[in-house]
């Protein structure tokens, strides 16, 4: 059945597409090339590699759709991109435990409190967390990593507090061996994302929040290739020596924490 909403979307898309073609005076060769690029995108896209999401992300569309869908009310933590490496079904881990199932970089203590807009702590909120290791790979991309390495779900305690061990994140290049990589290269852009840890926070009766913690000292904060950095999400890690108190037994060298 015809959809009035789809008609409105298609009419606007055609209007803007024609304006764009007119604006840049697109040539026949350039349009043929564009169709070639779209065809190549379809050919390398499968379950493991969603090249069209890379287009959406690197052209800033994902962040714009997110901004329209999730305006952050005053006092709320801001949202950012989900990215292609989220995998549902991470194990529920005890508070205070580590998501690193093998050596993956400098241990990082991450902790905080989940609160509602009224400032009241939310007990039993769930944090679903994932990140890459110092080899830059997420476990889903790394055949040598255990399935649940650097992934985990944590539930807040009665005071809404959470605490877990991750590793200090490192910058990461989005897959750049396909059509999107060629576009980045040909337009003098780089494929790097600023160092970050992903989290989705959920609690019954509340809207869920998809966001990142960015390392405030990372490279690429002002040129993240998918435009996902927001200043309020950039947090500073404090560096600790191997012997600083407050580290658990599994930490044997230098570490960092979010305080």
Binding site for ligand DHB (CB under 6 A): 53-54, 57, 81, 83-85, 172, 174, 193, 226
Q: Is 164 left (phi over 0), alpha (psi -120 to 50) or beta?
A: beta
Nearer to ligand DHB, 80 or 98 (CB): 80
Tell me the closest approach of the beta carbon of residue 183 to Fe ion, in angstroms: 20
**Candidate residues 58, 83, 100, 233; the one interacting with Fe ion per rule CB under 5 A:** 83
By beta-carbon proximity to ligand DHB, the closer residue of 174 and 184 is 174
Least distance in Å: CB of 11 to Fe ion? 36
The binder of 174, among Fe ion, ligand DHB, none, by C-beta within 5 to 8 A per type, is: ligand DHB
Burial class (CB in 10 A: 0-12, 13-18, 19+), 111: middle
Tell me whether strands 172-173 and 161-167 are parallel, antiparallel or unpaired: unpaired
Entry field: residues in the chain: 259
Q: How far is the CB of 170 from Fe ion (least distance, A)?
A: 11
**CB-based contact 78:230 (threshold 8 Å):** yes
Yes or no: say if 136 and 167 are a contact pair by the CB < 8 Å rule: no
- Min separation Cβ 226 and ligand DHB, Å: 5
Identify what 133 binds: Fe ion, ligand DHB, none; CB under 5 to 8 Å per kind. Answer: none
Quick one: 83 or 133, whose CB is closer to ligand DHB? Answer: 83
Nearer to ligand DHB, 37 or 140 (CB): 140
d(CA 133, CA 211): 18
Radius of gyration of the chain (CA): 21
- Please tell me the distance from the alpha carbon of residue 246 to that of residue 157, in angstroms, as a whole number: 20
Cβ closest to ligand DHB, residue 57 vs residue 203? 57
Residues near Fe ion, by CB under 5 A? 83
């Amino acid at each position: 059945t015809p959809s009035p909403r789809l008609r409105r979307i298609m009419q606007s898309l055609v209007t803007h597409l024609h304006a764009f073609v007119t604006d840049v005076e697109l040539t026949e060769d350039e349009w043929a090339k564009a169709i070639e690029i779209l065809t190549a995108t379809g050919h390398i896209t499968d379950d493991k590699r969603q090249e069209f999401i890379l287009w959406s992300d690197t052209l800033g569309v994902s962040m714009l759709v997110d901004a329209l869908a999730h305006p952050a009310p005053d006092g709320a933590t801001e949202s950012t991109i989900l990215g292609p490496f989220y995998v549902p079904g991470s194990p529920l881990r005890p508070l205070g435990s580590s998501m690193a199932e093998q050596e993956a970089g400098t241990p990082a203590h991450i902790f905080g409190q989940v609160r509602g807009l009224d400032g009241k702590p939310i007990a039993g909120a769930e944090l679903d967390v994932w990140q890459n290791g110092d080899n830059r790979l997420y476990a889903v991309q790394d055949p040598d990593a255990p399935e649940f390495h650097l992934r985990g779900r944590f539930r807040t305690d009665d005071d809404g507090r959470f605490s877990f061990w991750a590793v200090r994140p490192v910058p990461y290049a989005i897959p750049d061996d396909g059509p999107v990589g060629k576009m980045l290269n040909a337009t003098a852009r780089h494929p790097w994302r600023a160092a970050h840890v992903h989290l989705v926070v959920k609690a019954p009766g509340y809207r869920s929040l998809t966001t990142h913690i960015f390392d405030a000292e990372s490279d690429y904060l002002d040129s993240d290739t998918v435009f996902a950095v927001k200043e309020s999400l950039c947090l500073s890690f404090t560096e600790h020596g191997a012997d600083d108190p407050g580290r658990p037994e599994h930490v044997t060298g230098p570490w960092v924490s979010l305080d």
